[in-house]
Amino acid sequence: MANHHSAKVRIRRNDRRAAINGNRIGRIRTRVKQVEAAIAEGNKPAAEAALRAAQPEMHRGAQKGVIHANTVSRKLSRLSARIKALS
């Protein structure tokens, strides 16, 4: 257990940040699943709309440091390729 005041504050702050980061990752996963569901249905317009909604959420996650920027680029690239192949 922390003894210093600053360490106790740090623990509380870390808990708050972990909750925020967890929510952000959850939103990213939800958006990606929506894109994948639309792809599985073969609904290209819905998949494109879902990808447009997922992109800013994923980039924001990379900017905030909860997911690596290269991971975001790779996932977006692969989703885009799968949507393009739907035609």
CATH number at residue 43: 1.20.58.110
Per-position pLDDT tens, the chain of length 87: 788 999 999 999 999 999 999 999 999 999 999 999 999 999 999 999 999 999 999 999 999 999 999 999 999 999 999 999 997
Query: Domain tally for the chain?
Result: 1
Give the span between the Cα atoms of 18 and 40, in whole angstroms: 32
Residues of the domain holding 23:
5-84
Count CB-CB contacts under 10 A for residue 12.
Answer: 10
Q: What is the pTM of this model?
A: 0.87
Tokens representing residue 47 in the block: 């998949």
